[in-house]
């Protein structure tokens, strides 16, 4: 059974671009209306309160690892991370070591990165491969996982090579996103069924046009859900980011939309203040900029590194070794076509600046909060109506593990 679904949007398709521009214009209209009203924001119907143990309970953490990181499709990268036949992605952060390959017919395959001979890590570097040769005794595999050669074949008499291929892991490629489900099996991933009404929103982002510029792993000493919450609200910009983001973005104003278990949220930059009271015909062209959350652990930001130059940031959050640690894979992408060295350098700088703010401000305060909550039994937290994006995320996670938010 084929575990791969291939479907690509054409890069820069006029209809997707037109749709993105229309959505960007709508978002801007809503943000300017909030500013015109004196700084209102999209709100949830009520506040949401629950125990700090949601972030500190090891049993809950174990259930999340099993259900969300073992049994849910996860973003393993963008198509641009594995553009050509022979390219590979190594994906270890969800738990099992996973190897993704693109074969000569451009199909993706995913396997446990474990040699069926005696368990060596089959591929150790993210470099292009014509075939996969185990570093231990040189068993050799095709990019589709079939065992091609066993040196000293007579030592394995009676062993059928057809039964010793690599262990498959479900994988799918959809509109520039690569998904895997980090549990071995032959099942296929129904991406559109999984995304529901978020699928058209993500398709129009044309993530397939992104080419990687820089990536790394950011460590946080806090629960992964606490870390995730830091991406969904701008209420903290004025205080926590007073020297870094607050000069550029207006705090506590957001245009929020929920799509099944995902969301899109946009925050106004200070330049939008100048549009208040001005006829829309006089506004400058729209630059689409929004944060997208893909359940359960991925944040995609599409915006401009400078006006007219779009780029992508992808944050994928994974539980660390304990309930109080998180590993974030952070990557930035420039357009594959039309980004020269200077453009790519600007995107790399955006990576450095963002990683610095995230590590020294967001993840620092998250670590302090998590430490305090973990040592304060009975502590409770409350999401404001203004922290609207956080409500649905924590509710969806609680529902997926069948443990109520209490
Ligand atoms: S462990 Fe891979 S060839 Fe022996
Ligand atoms: Fe922040």
**Dihedral in degrees, nearest 10, Cα atoms 152, 153, 155, 156:** 150
- Which atom of ligand 1 is nearest to 139's Cα? 3
> Can you list the positions of beta strands (E) in 267-343?
290-294, 298-306, 309-319, 326-335
- Which atom of ligand 1 is nearest to 134's Cα? 2
- Whether 406 is covered by a domain: the verdict is no
CATH number at residue 263: 3.90.380.10
Question: Do 271 and 382 have their domain in common?
Answer: yes
Integer Cα distance of 371 and 221 in angstroms: 8
Q: Give me the pLDDT at residue 17, please.
A: 85
Domain count, the chain: 2
- Please compute the mean of the pLDDT values over residues 232-250 and round it to a whole number: 97
Please tell me the number of Cα atoms within 13 Å of 46 on its side-chain side: 2
Whether residue 3 has pLDDT greater than 50: no
pLDDT band, residue 2 (cuts 50/70/90): very low
For residue 283, which of 11, 86, 25 has the smallest C-alpha distance? Answer: 25
Q: In this structure, which residue's CA is closest to atom 1 in ligand 1?
A: 118
Q: Which domain holds residue 231?
A: 9-73+197-400
CATH number at residue 155: 2.102.10.10
Question: Do 295 and 276 have their domain in common?
Answer: yes
Question: Do 166 and 205 have their domain in common?
Answer: no
Q: How far is CA 232 from the centre of its chain?
A: 13
Task: Read off the pLDDT of residues 354-377 as tens digits, 9 standing for 90 and up.
Answer: 999 999 999 999 999 999 999 999
Mean pLDDT taken over the chain: 95
Q: Answer positive or negative: Cα dihedral of 144, 145, 149, 151.
A: positive
Pocket test for ligand 1, best of 112, 120, 166 (most atoms within 8 A of CB): 120
Question: Do 166 and 220 have their domain in common?
Answer: no
Q: Give me the pLDDT at residue 48, please.
A: 98
- Whether 234 is covered by a domain: the verdict is yes
How far apart are the CA of 390 and the centre of ligand 2, in A? Answer: 13
* Distances from the Cα of 270 to the Cα of 133, 250, 349, angstroms: 54, 6, 21
- Helix, strand or coil for residue 239? helix
Is the Cβ atom of 132 under 6 angstroms away from ligand 1?
no
Whether residue 5 has pLDDT greater than 70: no
Integer Cα distance of 314 and 202 in angstroms: 13
How far apart are the CA of 239 and the centre of ligand 2, in A? Answer: 10
Question: Do 36 and 144 have their domain in common?
Answer: no
* Distances from the Cα of 8 to the Cα of 78, 175, 398, angstroms: 12, 5, 33
Ranges of H-type helices in 261-387:
341-357, 363-374
- Which atom of ligand 1 is nearest to 137's Cα? 3
Whether residue 43 has pLDDT greater than 70: yes
Q: Give me the pLDDT at residue 10, please.
A: 42
Is the Cβ atom of 139 under 6 angstroms away from ligand 1?
yes
Q: Give me the pLDDT at residue 6, please.
A: 41
Question: Can you tell me the ipTM of this complex?
Answer: 0.97
Task: Read off the pLDDT of residues 292-337 as tens digits, 9 standing for 90 and up.
Answer: 999 999 999 999 999 889 999 999 999 999 999 999 999 999 999 9
Q: Which residue has the higher pLDDT, 17 or 279?
A: 279
How far apart are the CA of 109 and the centre of ligand 1, in A? Answer: 20
- Which atom of ligand 1 is nearest to 115's Cα? 2
pLDDT band, residue 4 (cuts 50/70/90): very low
- Whether 156 is covered by a domain: the verdict is yes
Question: Do 356 and 280 have their domain in common?
Answer: yes
Give the ligand with the smallest distance to the CA of 140. Answer: 1
Task: Read off the pLDDT of residues 91-140 as tens digits, 9 standing for 90 and up.
Answer: 999 999 999 999 999 999 999 999 999 999 999 999 999 999 999 999 99
Is the Cβ atom of 117 under 6 angstroms away from ligand 1?
yes
Task: Please state the φ and ψ torsions of residue 24, each to the nearest 5 degrees.
Answer: -60, -40
Please tell me the number of Cα atoms within 13 Å of 24 on its side-chain side: 20
Question: Do 290 and 179 have their domain in common?
Answer: no
Is the Cβ atom of 118 under 6 angstroms away from ligand 1?
yes
Whether residue 234 has pLDDT greater than 70: yes
Question: Do 45 and 101 have their domain in common?
Answer: no
Give the ligand with the smallest distance to the CA of 240. Answer: 2
Query: To which residue do tokens 């079939």 refer?
Result: 146
Integer Cα distance of 31 and 40 in angstroms: 9
For residue 102, which of 67, 163, 143 has the smallest C-alpha distance? Answer: 143
- Which atom of ligand 1 is nearest to 118's Cα? 1
pLDDT band, residue 12 (cuts 50/70/90): low
- Helix, strand or coil for residue 20? helix
Pocket test for ligand 1, best of 99, 114, 118, 123 (most atoms within 8 A of CB): 118
Helices 388-400 and 58-70, packing angle to 10 deg? 90
pLDDT band, residue 16 (cuts 50/70/90): confident
Question: Do 98 and 14 have their domain in common?
Answer: no
Boundary-marking domain end, from 157, 188, 219: 188
How far apart are the CA of 207 and the centre of ligand 2, in A? Answer: 24
Question: Do 109 and 236 have their domain in common?
Answer: no
Percentage of residues in the chain with pLDDT exceeding 70? Answer: 97
Is the Cβ atom of 115 under 6 angstroms away from ligand 1?
yes
Q: Answer positive or negative: Cα dihedral of 97, 332, 21, 274.
A: positive
pLDDT band, residue 379 (cuts 50/70/90): very high
Percentage of residues in the chain with pLDDT exceeding 90? Answer: 94
- Whether 66 is covered by a domain: the verdict is yes
- Whether 3 is covered by a domain: the verdict is no
145-173 burial, b at 16+ Cβ within 10 Å, e below that, comes to bebeebeeeeeeeeeebeebbbebbbbbb
R_g (Cα) of the chain, nearest Å: 23
Is the Cβ atom of 133 under 6 angstroms away from ligand 1?
no
Q: In the structure encoding, which two tokens stand for residue 266, read together?
A: 């946009």
- Whether 83 is covered by a domain: the verdict is no
Question: Do 215 and 266 have their domain in common?
Answer: yes
pLDDT band, residue 15 (cuts 50/70/90): confident
Q: In this structure, which residue's CA is closest to atom 4 in ligand 1?
A: 137
- Please compute the mean of the pLDDT values over residues 174-179 and round it to a whole number: 98
């Amino acid at each position: 059974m084929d575990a791969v679904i291939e479907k690509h949007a054409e890069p820069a398709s006029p209809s997707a671009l037109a749709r993105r521009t229309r959505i960007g214009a709508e978002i801007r209209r809503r943000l300017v209306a909030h500013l015109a009203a004196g700084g209102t924001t999209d709100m949830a119907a009520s506040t949401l309160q629950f125990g700090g143990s949601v972030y500190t309970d090891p049993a809950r953490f174990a259930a999340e690892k099993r259900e969300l990181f073992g049994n849910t499709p996860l973003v393993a990268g963008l198509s641009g991370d594995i553009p050509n036949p022979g390219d590979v992605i190594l994906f270890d952060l969800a738990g099992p070591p996973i190897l993704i390959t693109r074969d000569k017919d451009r199909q993706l395959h995913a396997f446990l990165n474990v040699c069926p001979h005696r368990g060596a890590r089959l591929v150790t570097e993210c470099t292009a491969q014509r075939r996969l040769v185990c570093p231990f005794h040189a068993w050799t595999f095709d990019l589709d996982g079939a065992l091609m050669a066993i040196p000293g074949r007579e030592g394995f008499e009676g062993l059928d090579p057809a039964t010793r291929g690599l262990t498959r892991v479900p994988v799918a490629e959809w509109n520039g996103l690569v998904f895997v489900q980090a549990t071995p099996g032959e099942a296929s991933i129904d991406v559109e069924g999984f995304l529901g009404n978020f699928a058209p929103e993500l398709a129009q982002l044309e993530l397939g046009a992104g080419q990687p510029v820089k990536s790394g792993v950011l460590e946080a000493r806090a629960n992964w859900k606490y870390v995730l919450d830091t991406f969904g609200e701008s209420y903290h910009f004025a205080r926590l980011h007073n020297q870094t983001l607050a000069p550029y973005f207006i705090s506590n104003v957001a245009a929020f939309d929920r799509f099944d278990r995902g969301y899109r949220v946009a925050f106004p930059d200070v330049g939008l203040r100048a549009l208040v009271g001005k006829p829309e015909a006089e506004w400058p062209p729209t630059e689409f900029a929004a944060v997208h959350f893909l359940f359960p652990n991925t944040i995609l930001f599409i915006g401009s590194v400078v006006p007219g130059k779009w780029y992508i940031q992808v944050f994928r959050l994974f539980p660390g070794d304990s309930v109080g640690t998180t590993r974030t894979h952070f990557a930035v992408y420039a357009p594959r076509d039309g980004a020269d060295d200077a453009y790519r350098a600007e995107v790399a700088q955006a990576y450095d600046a963002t990683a610095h703010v995230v590590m020294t401000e967001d993840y620092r305060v998250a670590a302090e909060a998590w430490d305090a909550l973990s040592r304060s039994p009975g502590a409770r937290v409350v999401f404001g109506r203004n922290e609207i994006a956080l409500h649905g995320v924590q509710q969806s996670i609680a529902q997926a593990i069948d443990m109520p938010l209490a």
